[in-house]
Chain A
Amino acid sequence: MSGSVLFDIPGPRARARNRVFNAVTALVIVLVIWVVYSRLNAKGQLTAAKWEPFLSSNLWTTYVLPGVQGTLTAAAVSIVLALVLGFVLGVGRMSHALPIRWVCSVVVEFFRAVPVLVMMIFAYFLYATYDVFPSKHLALAGVITGLTLYNGAVIAEIVRAGVNALPRGQSEAASALGLRWGQTMRSILLPQAITSMLPVLISQLVVVLKDTAIGYQITFLEMVRQGTQVGASYGNYIPALIVIAVLMISVNFALSSFAVWLEGRMRRSRRGPAPLKAEPVTQGAFGAGAGGSI
């Protein structure tokens, strides 16, 4: 969206005024930076001693890298399992058999309505009580379960949106050829829907990566927990959390930019179906749906 439709092309006076606004804004930014700087400085947060530990390889190998590994493991396993679950639920929701459709709808809406943390806590204690996993992997299993159930439900909605966005002629032609519902889904609709879903699935991966941090609360060893560990052992919470945030933001920002770029590229191309918007799907059966995936 270009802002130009909202205001006229600025004339000399408007340009002068905009320059003043620009300067005032810059001044405010400088002021804010100065206040933040002086507050941090007053508490000694900017001294070399607080930041130097990040130059030692020990800090990275002991704390940060295991956290990165935990985050990536949980995210990778969860997104794969969520894709499987999402396809099953999404196709189930479009089934012609009423009971299947009904069950899948209830499951999807339920998992979108319940907070991920609540599911993680529940799964964690469930596995602990019944000794499903070795205690070393309890937290990982809890995190993966929570993320899979929630994102599976979201992906089910994405799958449905992807199939619904295809031209009606596709399924009409398939039934004119005598294909059954399952054949139509498998060989006509889903392959096209997957292509159009690609950008929004990448955006969903950002959500999964961010949400691994919720595992902090069931003692899962991921990046944010490791950041607080660094803070605790070196007495530098603010630098530690800033470093973790920078790592997280750069990866997630790159992924979201890639998703937007891919969407634009697919929209311009003439081949294949138009992509879904690279934003997490938020509509649902209950009017507003049970929550966006933010």
Chain B
Amino acid sequence: MEIFTEYRGQIFEAFWTTIQLTVFSAIGALILGTALAAMRLAPVPMLNWIGTSYVNVVRNTPLTLIILFCSFGLSQTLGITLVDPGSLTSIEDSNFRLAVLGFTVYTAAFVCETVRAGVNTVPLGQAEAARSLGLTFAQNLRIVLLPQAFRAVIIPLGSVLIALTKNTTIASAIGVAEAALLMKEMIENTAALVTVGTIFMLGFVILTLPTGLFFGWLGKRMAVAR
């Protein structure tokens, strides 16, 4: 217990970084993923092709490789650091933003597939009715299909969000000070393996459990009555 009190500030700070990574990447992934889903459904073959290849490539790549590519490839080799090099915290900020970029790119592929599955749950008659009213593809998608699709996939999107929360631990590979990095540090410094392990495992259960419950509740509440 004294380990927890001693490190309390650092633990909360690390989990706060985990939460920040999750939230920023989730927003990015939701936008990019929805755009990709629209591409995969559009009547333009070239857009279909981009969407499909993106999903197939990204979904089959290890997340660790994507994150390391952001650091070694983008930042160290190409000099794309996403920060103002003059600022005092430029290294931390750069790693954080590159990690968010990596998580966004990776998670977007799963969001895309989830949203597309949601569009498939919308009954055929809805799209047909929209077409017979003279709506164009974009209007059809925006006004009729996507609103119903999103309500149908709230629960699966919650699962993607939880998976993202757990995946943010991989950012420790490029030195982002989130929970897993602190865990490693604390084990090395305190040698109280079981206590430290319990703290961090419980920390993630505390983060993911309410998210799951909330999205389960929201999904049931928002389900389209048919």
Do the two chains belong together in a single complex? yes
A256's nearest neighbour on chain B, judged by CB, is B60
Q: Which of A63-117 contact B (CB under 8 A)?
A: 110, 113-117
Known: A1-B116, A10-B43, A238-B73. A113 touches B204 (CB 8 A): yes
For A284, the chain B residues whose CB sits under 8 A away are 212
Q: Which residue of A lies closest to B206 (CB)?
A: A113
Tell whether B1 is near chain A: CB-to-CB under 8 Å. Answer: no
State whether A224 touches B62 (Cβ < 8 A): yes
Against A, the Cβ 8 Å flags (1 = close, 0 = not) of B24-45 are: 0000000000000000011111
- Asked if A290 is at the interface (CB within 8 A of a chain B CB), the reply is yes
Whether B204 contacts A117 by the Cβ 8 Å rule is no
Q: Which residue of B lies closest to A282 (CB)?
A: B159
Cα–Cα distance between A287 and B162 once the two chains are bound (Å)? 12
| B211 contacts A by Cβ under 8 Å | yes
Give min CB distance, A150 to chain B, whole Å.
Answer: 9
Verify if B131 is at the interface (C-beta below 8 Å from A). Answer: yes
> Chain B: how many interface residues by the 8 Å CB criterion?
76
Report the stretch among A39-47, A133-141, A189-197 that lies at the interface.
A39-47
Contact digits for A256-294, partner B, Cβ 8 Å, 1 yes 0 no:
100000000000000000000000001110111111111
Q: B residues 175-194 with Cβ under 8 Å of A?
A: 179-180, 183-184, 187, 191, 193
Knowing A117-B180, A241-B73 are in contact, say whether A291-B48 is a contact too (CB < 8 A).
no
- Say whether, besides A282-B156, A288-B215, A216 and B173 are in contact (CB < 8 Å): yes
Given A126-B193, A237-B77, also A121-B180 (CB < 8 A): yes
Q: Which residues of B contact A125 (CB under 8 A)?
A: 187, 193
The yes or no answer to A179 lying at the interface (CB within 8 A) is no
B77 engages A45 (CB within 8 Å)? yes
Minimum C-beta distance from A3 to chain B (A) = 6
A29 interface contact, C-beta 8 A: yes
| Chain A interface SS verdict (over half) | helix
B172–A294 CB distance below 8 A: no
Is the Cβ of B60 less than 8 Å from the Cβ of A121?
no
Inside 8 A of A292's CB, which chain B residues have their CB? Answer: 110, 156, 159-160, 162-163
Known: A7-B140, A288-B212. A206 touches B60 (CB 8 A): yes
Do A115 and B166 have beta carbons less than 8 Å apart? yes
Output the nearest chain A residue to B217 by Cβ-Cβ distance: A287
In the complex, the answer to whether A118 meets B65 with C-beta atoms within 8 Å is: no
* Interface residue ranges, A against B (CB under 8 Å): 1, 3, 5-8, 10, 14, 18, 21-22, 25-26, 29, 39-40, 43, 45, 110, 113-119, 121-122, 125-126, 129, 206, 210-214, 216-217, 224, 227-228, 231, 237-238, 241, 244-245, 248-249, 252-253, 256, 282-284, 286-294
